[in-house]
Chain A
Amino acid sequence: MTKGIKYSIWVIVIAFIGYNSVYFKKLSEVKAASEKFNAVDYAQRLYAALTTSSEKAITPDQLINELRSDKAKAFNQYGKALAIGSTRYFMVKGSGVVKAITENEVVLSTANKNELHIATEFVFGNAIRDASAQVNLNDFTNTADLNNISSEVNKIIRNKVLPPFKSTVKTGDAVAFTGAVGLNREHLDLNGMELMPINLNIVK
């Protein structure tokens, strides 16, 4: 009897250890977990979607008017961001006349004589990703993947959109644009907003 109890205890102990040592998982689940996020593909699809659909964008002049009239409402209605805080990003589109060209930017004057600074050198950051409202923070467990989306979209702008524009633009040209503007609700400066461009066309 005693031997029987002893053997039974050993069987239970071994079974317990064995149960907790071995895990069964579906191969499809393991493969899915190990697939790396392809930020290049994602960014290309995001950029393509942004260039074909900009109906939610407003003009910089309209944005400035609405911010001056009711800042809180304008931020809530038009501003987007993945992070919480005072900075929001706004999708804008419109046109303006080239007033000045420097090493790092092209300055436009809009219909209402507001200045818009198109970044032509330092195109970095999350303005385009966040203003697009296409990316959901909770779809990504890895923060690096989110960061890589911005990085790859900005690369497209720097490598494909800006070079032909910079090589041909001249003072006095009319330029049609779509892009993203970042503004801080607590430290709002509407003089000379900076635009991260998505599309730039010199209108003949």
Chain B
Amino acid sequence: MKRITFICLVLLLAACKPNANNNSRPKKVAVVVSTLNNPWFVFLAQTAAAQAQNLGYEVKIFDSQNNTATETDNFENAIASGYKAILFNPTDANGSVVNVNKAKAAGVPVFCMDREVNSATGPTSQILSDSYSGCIELGKYFVQQLNKKGKYVEILGLVADNNTWSRSKGFHSVVDLYPGLQMVAQQSADFDRNKGMEVMESILQAHPDISGVFCGNDAMAMGAYQALAAAGKASQVKVIGFDGAEDAIQGIKDGKITATCMQFPQVMAQTAANYADAWCKGKRDFPKKIQVGVEMVTGKNINEYMAYGKK
């Protein structure tokens, strides 16, 4: 009995001895992104990962596939695997709050990129585009391009994403003041290009005489343009998107897309990674929200811009 007790004590002491190798292993940062099915989010995730790697962290990108349950699995995986910080692009402004709070309870800071969650206390910081202001500029341009009259359609993004409503509200805060402009249809296409095309095709059946389409992102705008081109109406309908994605920028150059708003995912991703690094080094006071300005791109200034806000 005494021998067994002695062996147990020795084993216990051995388990408590600090592992000399722990300090030499890089800390880990997780990038949890809403979807890798959209090139814009691929760029966001890869930029965040690259910046974290440059700062000396081991990084893994987790794809939530636009599914909150998958996102929950990603968070549980990241927390259990000892990731020190999460750079997060949420799937659902309300549904994702529980995941953020779980990470916070586990001592893992969460830095939201591009999309926010509806929680003032959960995330350590939220770095977002000023979508509302960007869509005010798009709304002004839209009114001018349509000469304050005509029928138009709005194609919304994911309804659970606050960006969808920020963009829509910014746009309508201008356009709704002009009674000559009539919204004949408003439907969601989940920020997806193929769905954008299908929604546009369907709406054109009922409303063939529209003059403009406002889309909550460039992917849907490109899909809408495809549908309009197939219907032989591309030259008579102004198509507006949001993001500054590569195909939309080329689309503006080609005269297919009328305007978009350039976001700066590089700024958001790098800021999030830098904040995570600062957290790991002991900093604890971060601004709860940072807005990153967006810039309208049209045929007039297209030569001054590259996709994704790159210089």
**Chain A interface (Cβ < 8 Å from any Cβ of B):** 81-87, 104, 122, 124-126, 137-138, 141, 143-144, 147, 150-151, 184, 186-187
Contact = CB atoms under 8 A, between A and B. Distances in A.
Given A84-B292, A147-B133, A147-B169, 13 more contacts: A82-B291, A83-B130, A84-B291, A85-B267, A122-B144, A124-B136, A125-B133, A137-B290, A141-B289, A143-B132, A143-B289, A143-B291, A151-B173
B22 interface: no
B247 interface: no
The 5 A-B pairs of least Cβ separation, nearest first, read: A85-B293, A83-B291, A83-B293, A141-B120, A83-B130
Contacts of B58: none
B301 interface: yes
Contact of A125 (B136, B144, B169): B136
Interface residues of B, number: 31
A36 B112 CA distance: 26
Contacts of A151: 173
A86 B136 CA distance: 17
Contacts of A141: 120, 288-289
Contact of A122 (B140, B295, B311): B140
Interface of B: 116, 120, 128, 130, 132-133, 136-137, 139-140, 143-144, 166, 169-170, 173-174, 264, 267, 287-295, 301, 304, 311
B292 A85 contact: yes
Contacts of B290: 84, 137
A141 to B, nearest CB: 4
13 contacts: A83-B293, A84-B291, A85-B264, A86-B295, A122-B140, A122-B174, A125-B140, A126-B133, A137-B287, A137-B289, A141-B289, A147-B166, A147-B169
B185 to A, nearest CB: 24
A60 B288 CA distance: 35
Contacts of B173: 124, 151
A82 B267 CA distance: 15
Given A83-B133, A85-B264, A137 B304 contact: no
A151 B139 CA distance: 14
Contact of A83 (B140, B144, B288, B292): B292
B120 A138 contact: no
Contacts of A84: 267, 290-293
Most buried by A among B116, B291, B304, B311: B291
Nearest to B162: A143
B114 to A, nearest CB: 13
B19 to A, nearest CB: 36
A151 B120 CA distance: 23
Contacts of B128: 143
Contacts of A144: 169
A147 B132 contact: yes
Contacts of B301: 187
B293 A86 contact: yes
Given A84-B267, A125-B137, A137 B295 contact: no
A144 B170 CA distance: 10
Contacts of A82: 291
Nearest to A138: B287
A144 B291 CA distance: 13
A187 B292 CA distance: 17
A12 to B, nearest CB: 23
Contacts of B116: 143
B304 A187 contact: yes
A144 B166 CA distance: 8
Contacts of B166: 143, 147
A185 B116 CA distance: 27
A95 B190 CA distance: 49
Contacts of A125: 133, 136-137, 140
Nearest to B291: A83
B288 to A, nearest CB: 7
